[in-house]
Structure 1
Amino acid sequence: MSIELLKAHIASTGMSQKQVGAQLGKSAAVVNQYLQGTYKGDVEGVDKAVAELAQRQQSKSADVSSDFIETPMASRTMQSCMFAHAMCDMQLIIGDAGLGKTMALKEYAARHSNVIMLEVDPTFSSKVLLAEISNALGLTVGRNNNAMMTAVIEKLKGSDRLLIVDEAELLTLNSLEILRRIHDKAGIGIVLAGMPRLRANLRGARGQYKQIYSRIGMVHDLKMRLPKDDIAMFCESALGTSEFNEVLNKVSQGNARRLNKLLRGINRLSVLNKAPVNKDMIDQFADRLID
């Protein structure tokens, strides 16, 4: 029984035996022997792990789609990218966490093959930034900052590329200066996206960012909440009805990330209870969300 479950799981996911083994906490060799019916170890333990894996997979299949939805706010975000791309300009996109910035930026990058998108980590130094851009361009010039900078600029000149940098509020002054010089010397468009403090960072307390801030052509401010129309599109796409738009708008507090957790949670409750979504389910799951 469990062997058939595992075979069905592999067939439906296209995973290798090594990948399935990682899910089960077993080696690829154990998975292979188990599938062949020749495993001499703890068969009952593997049976149990396979059954639990199948149950998790069934639960995941009840999840709401995470496909990109082109809401009005997402369209405006991508339009800012388009302006920066077409005009070889520097654009700023700012907004609170959970407004869907990153998904819209990734969608623009997915639709245009000549876009480089970087997601900044707190550990990013100027060397890491240059290395990431070099890697994205397929350059192998060692890890000397000057050599990487020269190679990046030469590669990008006349390329009509767009560089999108997400979480840009985490960048150091040196890293921002590098992006400014790449923009100036290579003549490409650059989008800096991040939290509202990114704009304050670029202004600088002592005018130290003046040269960078002067390059910003336009600022797209997503504000603090998703508009009602955007929330309605998410809700109707996930639930197939507009009945709960108002209550979900209120409970989500206009936050796309919070809304997504709500939609996923109530959809799971609906499947588990074998009943259509209702307000009690929304209230039940909303109580579990962190404010």
Structure 2
Amino acid sequence: MTTKECGERAGQFIATKEHRRFTEFAEAVRRHRYIGLCYGPAGVGKTLSARRYTHWNLAGEAIENWDRRPDQEKIDAALAGSRAVFYTPTVLGALRDMRRTLGDLMVRVEICIENHLWGDDEDCLGGKNERRIEMLILDEAERLSMAALEFVRDIFDRTGIGVILIGMPGMEKRLSRYPQLYSRVGFAHHYRPLHSDELTFVLTRHWRRLGLSLDGADFTDSQAIASIARITGGNFRLLHRLFVQIDRILKINGLSVITDDVVEAARSTLVVGI
């Protein structure tokens, strides 16, 4: 996936171990048709992984705006592969709006899947009443009211598709207060920050993007890595934000080496939080 596909804010997608674990989790939910809970700190990559799995970076805009694109065949094929819908509820959104929007998204994705399966064969389109969607992924699950959660449970019961709810740590404790929904939860996935070797692998990619090479045996590089690890705690989003500032500082000062001072200067421009 290119940086353009992810957007400047997210940066280029990197397939980490946590993303692979998320993919395995999503496949299990899709295969066994349970409700799955995915929770983890903000910025670790939960949304990126979900959008990657559903191909929503490619298909999302076309589905939401419902206009045919030059690469529509590619979009249809991607949706036919994932058989999933990605949806983020609005803040304080009304249930009727969620029902309408989610209903529209599901119908449109099914149309795209059928277009890929049957093409222009009108005798086959919609003729078998077979549900094409196999999974629904809802991001920012904390925004869902009790009524909205009941609506999600109703979709799960009526359609037989798998459902994934994505949110912050503690979401699973909140949902445990709704036994009718919680009793249908079959899988849970704790999405964790980057650690040790994986963090070094991601940092190597960031170094290369700046046209530099990372040498673990070089004291300057090792010192910079230690500072970045301490500042970001392996947070994927914070890593990207930090390297945007590192790139800016290198260009402004005409530098070609990422030192501890450069990292600290980049950190001073960010609101890192606790």
What TM-score, normalized by structure 1, do the two folds share?
Answer: 0.66
Q: 1:289 to 1:159 in 2, by over 3 A?
A: same
Give the corresponding residue for 2:144. 171
Whole-Å Cα distance in 2 between the matches of residues 102 and 273 of structure 1?
A: 35
The farther-off stretch of 119-128 and 174-183 is: 119-128
What TM-score, normalized by structure 2, do the two folds share?
Answer: 0.70
Structure 1 residue runs without a partner (length 5+): 1-12, 14-62, 140-154
**Letter paired with 1:236:** T
Instruction: Report the secondary structure of 2:138's partner residue.
Output: strand
Whole-Å Cα distance in 2 between the matches of residues 130 and 202 of structure 1?
A: 20
Pick aligned residue for 1:92 from 8, 32, 37: 37
Pick aligned residue for 1:188 from 151, 155, 161: 161
Whole-Å Cα distance in 1 between the matches of residues 42 and 10 of structure 2?
A: 21
Give the corresponding residue for 1:264. 244
Q: 1:229 to 1:181 in 2, by over 3 A?
A: farther
Structure 2 residue runs without a partner (length 5+): 57-77, 109-127, 209-213
Larger Rg: 1
Whole-Å Cα distance in 1 between the matches of residues 174 and 269 of structure 2?
A: 35
Give the corresponding residue for 2:88. 119
Quote the sequence identity (%). 25
Whole-Å Cα distance in 2 between the matches of residues 86 and 187 of structure 1?
A: 11
State how 1:1-291 maps to structure 2 within 5 Å: 66-110=11-55, 112-113=78-79, 114-138=83-107, 158-204=131-177, 209-223=178-192, 225-240=193-208, 241=214, 243=221, 244-276=224-256, 277-290=258-271, 291=273
- The answer (yes or no) to whether the contact 1:96–1:195 under 8 Å persists in 2 is yes
Instruction: Report the secondary structure of 1:129's partner residue.
Output: helix
Cα RMSD for the two superposed structures: 2.4
Residues 33-84 of structure 1 show CA distances to partners (whole Å, capped at 9, x for unaligned) of xxxxxxxxxxxxxxxxxxxxxxxxxxxxxx8981110111111112211111
Q: 1:82 to 1:99 in 2, by over 3 A?
A: same
Residues 180-200 of structure 1 show CA distances to partners (whole Å, capped at 9, x for unaligned) of 111111110111001113112
Whole-Å Cα distance in 1 between the matches of residues 129 and 105 of structure 2?
A: 11
Residues 110-147 of structure 1 show CA distances to partners (whole Å, capped at 9, x for unaligned) of 185121100122222321221121121347xxxxxxxx
The farther-off stretch of 267-276 and 88-97 is: 267-276
- The one of the two structures with greater contact order (alpha-carbon pairs below 8 A, sep at least 6) is 2
User: Shift of the alpha carbon at 1:160?
Assistant: 4.2
Q: 1:171 to 1:229 in 2, by over 3 A?
A: farther
Q: In the comparison of the two structures, how many residue pairs are matched?
A: 210
